[in-house]
Each structure stands twice: as structure tokens, then as C-alpha cells.
């Protein structure tokens, strides 16, 4: 069965600094990869996704992620964060053809002035 | 465009009571999902449906039931509420696999 590991439960960072949120997955078959963001008291919304093709994926709000098959990773990055990026970020994997997302435990990004 | 609508937003139940969490989507999506979110645990899939009349269990189905009589609606039923079911419940829909899932605002349920 596939699984997703987000090693960092919380990442504090100063405004305008770069950030990387780590995500590793395990699966013996091909997968689709997603990053979702959850703002306080809201549902989740899609940041970006990797289905195939270029391993560097760009998403909304200046975020990007790189798929690394050999390291089974899909880390999320932003070169300069803003206060409004404070939220919880979830990495998710979907085994191709199974229509079910498996989520990681989430990483809380805390951006301070 | 309403998207995915969940009701109620908040509910307190006593142990042993039953209730139905409602979920409606107006995007004509075939796939619908129920997740529960617990602190530090991420989201766990309870049940999902790939179309009207078709449902299947996810990772944590015990204590829950679902039905899918129409494309739009996917209610989640708790028959005998237990404190372990205290959680935030999210309904989601998507047009197909490998596409974006659209989430509702969530239902915060407390069982006392």
C-alpha cells in the first residue's frame, strides 16, 4: 500500500525567506502527486499536481514542487514567503487508476514578520 | 457556483446518538469522498463513491455508512456515535481520478 511521509510537523520561517516543505512517498507502482493547502477553518484547496512529464511543477501563489522518482520525493518550495502563506500544507498521493488520495500528516507553515 | 456544500458546520452529539452529515455538489462530478481529519493525523478516507449507486470503503469505515442515490448527494451516517468519532469531517468531489479534488468547508463533530 502507498503511504506519504511529511517529516516536518511545523516549519517556522520569516517573511521573504525561502521555504521547503518535505514530502516522501512509498509506492511500488506509478503515482500521481499533489500538494494541498488548508487555511484556518477552511477546506483544502489544490496548490499543484504532478501527473507526468516535466518533473518541476509550478502551482498557485508562487509555489513549485519537484518530483524525484529515485528519491521518491515531492518537496514543495517557495523562494520568498508572505505572511498570508501561513497555513497547513498536505502532500497526497494517488495510485494511478485507483481514484483515491492518501494524505500525509501535514506541515504547518508559520510565517512571521 | 456553490461547489461542495456540507451541513451542518458544527454539531455536538451524545454517545449513542445517530446523525447524518450532508454533502452536496453542483459540479456534476462522478467521484465523491468522505474524509476525517484529526490533529497530527492528516486526512483519512472513510468512504468513497465513483458514481451513483456505487460506494466503497476507505481506510477507516467502521462506525459509518454512506449511500449515493444521486450524482449530487453523498450523505455520511453515524449510527451509534462514540467519542472516537470526534473529528472534523470533509466531503470532497472530483470529475475523475488524477484531477483536482474540491473540498467542502467541513463539519466539526464532537461526541460527548
pLDDT in tens, B25-47: 999 999 999 999 998 888 999 99
Chain B residues with CB-CB distance to A98 below 8 A: 97
Q: What's the confidence (pLDDT) of residue A101?
A: 86
| Residue B99 reports pLDDT greater than 80 | no
Instruction: Say how far apart CA B46 and CA B63 lie, in whole Å.
Output: 10
Rounded to an integer, the average pLDDT of B78-94 is: 95
Beta strand A44-50 with B64-66 is: unpaired
Q: What's the confidence (pLDDT) of residue A3?
A: 87
Q: What is the pLDDT of residues A42-64, one digit of tens each?
A: 889 999 999 888 899 999 999 99
Chain B residues with CB-CB distance to A97 below 8 A: 97
CA distance B21 to chain A (A): 16
Q: What's the confidence (pLDDT) of residue B1?
A: 66
* Out of B35, B40, B50, closest to residue A99 by CB: B50
Q: What's the confidence (pLDDT) of residue A95?
A: 77
Q: What is the pLDDT of residues A88-106, one digit of tens each?
A: 999 999 877 667 888 999 9
Percent helix, percent strand, percent coil in chain B, to nearest 5: 5, 55, 45
Q: What's the confidence (pLDDT) of residue B98?
A: 67
Instruction: Say how far apart CA A78 and CA A32 lie, in whole Å.
Output: 21
The confidence band for B13, taking pLDDT boundaries of 50, 70 and 90, is very high
The confidence band for A28, taking pLDDT boundaries of 50, 70 and 90, is confident
Instruction: Say how far apart CA B5 and CA A97 lie, in whole Å.
Output: 27
Rounded to an integer, the average pLDDT of B61-74 is: 97
Sign, Cα dihedral of B67, B20, B1, A82: negative
* Out of A4, A43, A49, closest to residue B90 by CB: A43
Q: What is the DSSP letter of B100?
A: P
Instruction: Say how far apart CA B106 and CA B87 lie, in whole Å.
Output: 10
Above pLDDT 70, what percent of chain A? 97
Asked if B76 and B64 count as a contact pair (C-beta separation under 8 A), the reply is yes
| Residue B65 reports pLDDT greater than 90 | yes
**First CA to last CA distance, chain B:** 36
What nine digits make up the cell of B47?
Answer: 468512504
Which burial class, exposed, middle or buried, applies to A54 when counting CB atoms under 10 A from its CB (0-12, 13-18, 19+)? exposed
Q: What's the confidence (pLDDT) of residue A19?
A: 98
Instruction: Say how far apart CA A13 and CA B92 lie, in whole Å.
Output: 31
Phi then psi for A62, rounded to 5 degrees? Answer: 80, 5
Q: Which range scores top for mean pLDDT: A4-8, A74-78, A100-104?
A: A74-78
Cis omega (within 30 of 0) for bond into B8:
yes
Mean pLDDT of chain B: 93
Phi then psi for A55, rounded to 5 degrees? Answer: -80, -15
| Residue B17 reports pLDDT greater than 70 | yes
- Cβ neighbours of A45 (radius 10 Å): 15
Amino acid at each position: 500500500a502507498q503511504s506519504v511521509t511529511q517529516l516536518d510537523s511545523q516549519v517556522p520561517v520569516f517573511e521573504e525567506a525561502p521555504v521547503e516543505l518535505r514530502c516522501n512517498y512509498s509506492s511500488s507502482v506509478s503515482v500521481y502527486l499533489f500538494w494541498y493547502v488548508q487555511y484556518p477553518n477552511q477546506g483544502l484547496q489544490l496548490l499543484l499536481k504532478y501527473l507526468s512529464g516535466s518533473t518541476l511543477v509550478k502551482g498557485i501563489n508562487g509555489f513549485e514542487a519537484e518530483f524525484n522518482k529515485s528519491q521518491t520525493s515531492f518537496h514543495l518550495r517557495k523562494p520568498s514567503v508572505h505572511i498570508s502563506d501561513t497555513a497547513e500544507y498536505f502532500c497526497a498521493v494517488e495510485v494511478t487508476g485507483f481514484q483515491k488520495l492518501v494524505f500525509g500528516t501535514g506541515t504547518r507553515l508559520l510565517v512571521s514578520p | 457556483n456553490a461547489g461542495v456544500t456540507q451541513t451542518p458546520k458544527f454539531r455536538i452529539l451524545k454517545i449513542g446518538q445517530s446523525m447524518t452529515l450532508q454533502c452536496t455538489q453542483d459540479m456534476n462530478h462522478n467521484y465523491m469522498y468522505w474524509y476525517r481529519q484529526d490533529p497530527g493525523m492528516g486526512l483519512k478516507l472513510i468512504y468513497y463513491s465513483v458514481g451513483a449507486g456505487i460506494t466503497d470503503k476507505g481506510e477507516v469505515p467502521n462506525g459509518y455508512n454512506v449511500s449515493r442515490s444521486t450524482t449530487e448527494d453523498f450523505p455520511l451516517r453515524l449510527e451509534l456515535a462514540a467519542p472516537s468519532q470526534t473529528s472534523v469531517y470533509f466531503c470532497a468531489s472530483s470529475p475523475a481520478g488524477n484531477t483536482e479534488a474540491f473540498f467542502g468547508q467541513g463539519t466539526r463533530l464532537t461526541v460527548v
